[in-house]
Amino acid sequence: MRRPDGVVLISIYHWVVAALGLVMLCFLAVMPLLVTSTMVGTGRGVRGVLAMFVLATAAAFFLLLGAVAYAVVGWGLWQLRPWARIGAVVLAILGMITCVPVGTVLGAVIVWYLFQPTAKAAFGEETTAQSG
């Protein structure tokens, strides 16, 4: 089956979000080095530096996890894998909750589209036509 244009757009969207996550991860890797020199220079001491590194490490972990999830789901959507449709719906719902208002709108559109009969059919899910 030919890949629907909506699935192509959603797949590309997932790759863009993954790439932005990786860019933010690179920034996060450099930022502690800059902040550390400022914190030591202002007398915040070792505790402040340690707390900043712990927070930066946690943020980096979640950014990496999110970037990988978006990249894998984007690839799966491109390949029309049924699990990717479910993953895209889950990521869209998480985006609706965490990225208000833009993520809410984009997530709602993605969820709506992926439950359309043409999208379901593209992923191999049979749709039943209702008879009147």
Is residue 85 pLDDT above 80, yes or no? yes
pLDDT tens readout for residues 33-55 = 777 666 666 666 677 777 777 88
Q: What is the pLDDT of residue 131?
A: 41
Task: Find the helix packing angle between 102-114 and 5-41, rounded to 10°.
Answer: 150
- Residue 103's SS3 state is helix
- Mean pLDDT across the chain: 88
DSSP secondary structure letters along 64-94: HHHHHHHHHHHHHHHTT-HHHHHHHHHHHHH
Of the pLDDT bands very low, low, confident and very high (cuts 50, 70, 90), residue 132 is very low
| Residue 90, Ramachandran bin (φ over 0: left; ψ between -120 and 50: alpha; else beta) | alpha
